Structure 1
Amino acid sequence: MSAKIFLKLVEIKTKVASMIPFLLGSLYTLYHFNNFNFKNFIFMLISLLTIDMATTAINNYYDYKRANKTHGYNYESHNAIVKNNLKESTVRFIILALLIIAVLFGIILVLNTNFVVLILGVLSFSVGILYSFGPIPISQTPLGEAFSGVFMGFLITFISIYIHVFNQNIAFLLYNQGLLSLHLNIIEITYIFLFSIPLIIGIANIMLANNICDIKDDLENNRYTLPTYIGKSNSLKLFKTLYYLVYLDLILLLIFKVTPLICLITLLTFIPVKKNIDLFMKKQSKADTFILSVKNFIIINVVQLLALSLVII
């Protein structure tokens, strides 16, 4: 298998959805805590990237195995297994290899931090696998948007911060006389959650846009996603409203001084994002307009990333 086919199988372009939360969390750590652990950064980068690639490969593999409809844009053009006539055994080997690498570096990360990272890591791995695997994958239920948004937008961001400041009592486990308790710094975790909202919503809306475009195909393949339950009209209203909540959150971050004043420039992204929203509202197509949700995610969060980088520099 060539590198090009492998990258298509794992849909490397979509890894931006996990890498941006990871990088933003790292920059938040530098800005807010003035702390950075380079070794833990590398260990998490490798583990995160490989589990994300494995999850995508699993998703493509089971789409291929379960598809009732074997023609159409999404199936023939987007599934690398079909397009490149890959052997099932080869795909399974790649998935297993990626999972082993992800688990190995995840264990190394835990050994360098604490058991909070282990718990969050196991939870993330489990959801990542169950998102595409099992009798009823999460991605094929009305909960797909919520799970992808919260786990990729918030949990990745939180872990990417926590691995640098695990010894600063943001969250820790305490064992005393047979009792195990979890202690949380509610203020810091609330700030991190607010900081993560543009990521949570951006990722959820990528999933939502994908499912809006695929309503017909999903029904034919017995996938009952959120848009198949609430209808296209309500799904489009939700898609638009969620973006407006992003900008409300960005204002709150500035008011509470979670982000520096230079992050005002992120509010200017509303202009291109609104244009993309309007285009998607007019036409919902996997080939033509789905990419607008990805662009919106990148526009908002990369500008936020650049603003934080300028402050740190």
Structure 2
Amino acid sequence: MSSTALSSSPSPFSVFMLAIRPRTLPASLSPVILGTALVEPADFNWLVGLCALGVALFLQIAVNLANDYFDAKSGVDGEDRLGPVRVTQANFATPGSVARGVVLFVCLAVACGIVLVLHTGWPLLVAGGFCVLATLAYSGGPFPLASHALGELTVLVFFGWVAVMGSYYVHTQQLSLLSFWLATSLGFLLAAIMLVNNLRDIKSDRAAGKITLAVLLGDSGSRLLYLTLVLLAALAHMVAFGFASPSLSVLQMFVPLLVCMPHAIACCRDARRLQGKNLNRLLATTAMLGLIYACATALLHLSLR
């Protein structure tokens, strides 16, 4: 084998990193950070917090691997793919090894979830079951959610409401209006990540018969929806602190929005002009916007104690 062929073959670690798509992982970290920050010190449990983070992180990786596997199997990922390299489609990994990776990370998430169920109670088992089902049904099964224009809604539900409110619930065994509205705000930003992904892939998805929200709305409509999601996130934030937590001053309420504003403006500007592979940059910066918002809001809440 030539040295050129050797150098072009990525190492197992590189293949693993390509498969799990690290740039998307802030989408699983952000809601846990935000939900946990709402917990009062007397209710906080380190083991519970780490397990909640583990569930979110491992399920996110499982989703990424499942997308890699099912999109290659269905023919959605072709040679003209504009997104990051998919290891199955690029023949860097066998379909069987990627499928085993899905099973491994689902099992790791379930292991963390069992700890949470033992701490919180059996009702959490129902939510956990739906999370695992959504992980597998997102791009696989008889009704793939991602192929029926439900990707953004799935993100809002599971990475917004379930992840933020769930991270709060496992410590307190309670839900709150504040956690709901903050989950909604962050969920809109995380849904925007999915929208960018689908905007980039409009042509290939349409050719493969994959119906996404971006395919239905078209290029211009998808870009307008991105701006709308960012605006809705800001409005949900103001509802959260304006009604669910009315003791805050107006200045305090706007601190996280002011922190996010430069990055949000840059993202919205890019959403209007970037095309093709350049949308991969917007994918990463939108994920970072969600993380910045989650951290800024978490720090605001912690500072008020």
Contact 2:193 2:286 in 1 (8 A): yes
Contact 1:143 1:225 in 2 (8 A): yes
Closer, same or farther: CA 266–62 of 1 in aligned 2, 3 Å: same
Alignment counterpart, residue 128 of structure 2, candidates 121, 126, 134: 121
Q: Tell me the equivalent position of 1:55.
A: 63
Alignment counterpart, residue 132 of structure 1, candidates 117, 132, 139: 139
Q: Tell me the equivalent position of 1:4.
A: 14
Q: CA deviation at 1:102?
A: 1.8
Structure 1: which 5+ runs fail to align?
171-187
Alignment of 1:84-103 (within 5 A): 85-103=92-110
**CA distance, structure 2, for counterparts of residue 118 and residue 64 of structure 1:** 32
Give SS of 1:232's match.
helix
Q: CA deviation at 1:16?
A: 0.9
Q: CA deviation at 1:205?
A: 0.9
Alignment counterpart, residue 282 of structure 2, candidates 275, 290, 293: 290
Alignment counterpart, residue 156 of structure 1, candidates 152, 163, 183: 163
Q: Tell me the equivalent position of 1:20.
A: 30
Alignment counterpart, residue 300 of structure 1, candidates 271, 293, 296: 293
Q: Tell me the equivalent position of 2:85.
A: 78
Alignment of 1:1-313 (within 5 A): 2-30=12-40, 34-67=42-75, 70-74=78-82, 77-83=84-90, 85-166=92-173, 170=174, 188-256=175-243, 258=245, 260-261=248-249, 262-268=252-258, 269-288=260-279, 289-291=281-283, 292-311=285-304
- Give the alignment's TM-score, normalised by structure 2: 0.86
Larger RCO: 1 or 2 (CA < 8 Å, sep 6+): 2
**CA distance, structure 2, for counterparts of residue 123 and residue 299 of structure 1:** 28
- What code does the residue aligned with 1:201 have? F
- What code does the residue aligned with 2:86 have? N
- What code does the residue aligned with 2:82 have? N
Contact 2:76 2:205 in 1 (8 A): no
**CA distance, structure 1, for counterparts of residue 52 and residue 291 of structure 2:** 21
**CA distance, structure 2, for counterparts of residue 280 and residue 305 of structure 1:** 27
Contact 1:198 1:300 in 2 (8 A): no
Q: CA deviation at 1:73?
A: 4.0
Q: CA deviation at 1:115?
A: 1.9
- What code does the residue aligned with 1:38 have? W
- Give the alignment's TM-score, normalised by structure 1: 0.84
Contact 1:210 1:290 in 2 (8 A): no
**CA distance, structure 1, for counterparts of residue 263 and residue 273 of structure 2:** 16
Give SS of 1:71's match.
coil
Q: CA deviation at 1:296?
A: 2.8
Number of corresponding residues: 289
Deviations 1:218-274 (A, max 9, x none): 011111101211222222222112211222222223323638554522121224312
**CA distance, structure 1, for counterparts of residue 77 and residue 57 of structure 2:** 31
Q: Among the aligned pairs, what percent are the same residue? A: 25
Deviations 1:123-157 (A, max 9, x none): 11111211121133111221111111121111011
Structure 2: which 5+ runs fail to align?
1-10
Q: Tell me the equivalent position of 1:173.
A: none
Give SS of 1:29's match.
coil
Q: Which piece of structure 1 moves more, 302-311 or 128-137?
A: 302-311
Contact 1:213 1:290 in 2 (8 A): no
CA RMSD, aligned part only? 2.3
Q: CA deviation at 1:165?
A: 0.9
Closer, same or farther: CA 293–45 of 1 in aligned 2, 3 Å: closer
**CA distance, structure 1, for counterparts of residue 96 and residue 241 of structure 2:** 51
Q: CA deviation at 1:69?
A: 5.8
